[in-house]
Amino acid sequence: MADADRGTPNRWLMLAVSMLGQVAGTIFVNGAPFLIRYLTSERGLSLPEAGAVAAAPFVGVMATLVLWGIVVDRIGERAAMTIGLAIVSVAALGASFSSSLTGLAAWFVLGGVGAGSTNSASGRIVVGWFPAHRRGTAMGIRQTALPLGVGAAALLVPNLVESDGLRTTLLTITAVCAAATVLSAVLIVDPPRPTRAEAADRGQLANPYRRDNRLARIHLASALLVVPQFTVWTYMLVWLIDDKGWSTLAASSLVAATQVLGAAGRIGAGWWSDAVGSRLGPMRIVAIAATATMLALGLLSGTPLGIALIVIATAVTVADNGLAFTSVAEIGGPYWSGRAMGLQNTGQYVVSALVPPLVGSVIDGHGYAVGFAAVALFPLLAIPLVPVRGEHSLDTV
């Protein structure tokens, strides 16, 4: 292949390995919400209490994303991802032998700390190895790691915990994360970047947050847009079982299938951004679509259309992630993109950690219809924040 002839690794292999690492981390972090029904039915927790335990991995991720971004900027993508996935593996193993819910939550937090490494590291691998005119599509493919990981967790976690218990479920996740750790250590090659002297000559060492407000606006808009995404991911399974009367197998199968649809939406959005030469224009359109979809879901959740709308929501509400992440990396540049992507994901994970208990409380008090409809407010607020008018031509990183 051409990449091999030049003595550099195949960029698609780099994409695949970084995706596998993020899938493994996602299975651990996003597998926790699929334990909500087990925690309420087998451990006797209320829905808000179970939601708080399910949010524990997101707390760990949220607290360390910027630190991981600094690590990536300083020591490279391969080292950061390998160390982080090793931490996830240890945490999953520890959680499997935890004898208390407090201990389980603590191991979940630690695993979230390790999983945070995969966000900036895998994003930088894609940005570093792919040219600008292919980067949106490549990042869209990379962003499918999240819905694919959620889909795998949806199939694995609720069915395995129901049939074989919590320990077997967590040991299985441990094996997945350990395998991803080894692959990252062996196969990932850090992408090239300019020396600090060269970057200084190009103005790439300057703080991009002082240049203009584009990054800050993208961070805030993305944090708002993550509310409907995590509402659907967290409560779709429980809604199908408790409100619609579906079996665990049927509900988890639909959740997994919709994640494939979400993955396709991310790739399509990335391709769209490459084709039109803009990341933020498509992002604003996605925010408009998310507002309409969540409002319709709230109004029609009690009708036969409700299931179709929640399936659509799983695709629409995730389509903005790759667009925002790519734009942040391009604006941040080779010596700030790790931190910029860390801040980007920090805002999203702050919101992600709050969604399960807070939306759970709304649903507990007012029902699913009100909960889904109320969530439409957040993408509505994001629409004017997307800095479309301030978007420059696509930068190379």
DSSP per-residue letters across 70-97: HHHHHH-HHHHHHHHHHHHHHHHHHHHT
| Lowest mean pLDDT, pick from 92-106, 170-184, 197-211, 287-301 | 197-211
d(CA 16, CA 19): 5
Tokens of 266: 């991310």
| 366 in any annotated domain | yes
pTM over 0.85: no
What is the 3-state secondary structure of 230-257? HHHHHHHHHHHHHHCCCCHHHHHHHHHH
Strands of the chain (E only): list them. Answer: none
- The rounded percent of the chain whose pLDDT value lies above 70 is 93
d(CA 85, CA 185): 10
d(CA 242, CA 28): 24
Element at 321 (helix H, strand E): helix 320-332
Query: What pLDDT is stored for residue 12 in this prediction?
Result: 92
Q: Residue range 34-60: average pLDDT?
A: 82
Query: What pLDDT is stored for residue 188 in this prediction?
Result: 92
280-292 pLDDT per residue, tens: 999 999 999 999 9
Query: What pLDDT is stored for residue 88 in this prediction?
Result: 96
Average pLDDT, the chain: 86
pLDDT interval class at 2 (50, 70, 90)? very low
| Lowest mean pLDDT, pick from 246-260, 275-289, 294-308 | 246-260
| 393 in any annotated domain | no
Return the ∠ at Cα 224 (arms to 221 and 225), rounded to 5°. 85
- Does residue 4 register a pLDDT over 70? no
Query: What pLDDT is stored for residue 20 in this prediction?
Result: 94
- Tell me, what DSSP letter sits at residue 383? G
Three-class SS state of 98:
coil
d(CA 163, CA 139): 37
**Structural domain harbouring 163:** 2-192+199-385
| 85 in any annotated domain | yes
| 396 in any annotated domain | no
Q: Residue range 37-63: average pLDDT?
A: 82
Residue 194 phi, psi (nearest 5): -65, 155
d(CA 363, CA 135): 39
Tokens of 261: 């649809």
Answer left, alpha or beta for residue 245, where phi above 0 means left and psi between -120 and 50 means alpha: left
CA-closest candidate to residue 48, choices 363, 368, 298: 363
The helix, strand and coil proportions of the chain, stated in percent and rounded to the nearest 5, come to 80, 0, 20
| 397 in any annotated domain | no
| 334 in any annotated domain | yes
CATH number of the structural domain spanning residue 269 = 1.20.1250.20
Answer left, alpha or beta for residue 7, where phi above 0 means left and psi between -120 and 50 means alpha: left
Q: Residue range 69-77: average pLDDT?
A: 85
| 395 in any annotated domain | no
In total, how many domains does the chain have?
Answer: 1
Query: What pLDDT is stored for residue 59 in this prediction?
Result: 87
94-139 pLDDT per residue, tens: 998 987 888 888 999 999 999 989 988 888 888 888 887 788 888 8
Distance from chain centroid for Cα 209: 23
d(CA 160, CA 366): 31
pLDDT interval class at 204 (50, 70, 90)? low
d(CA 81, CA 67): 13
| 391 in any annotated domain | no
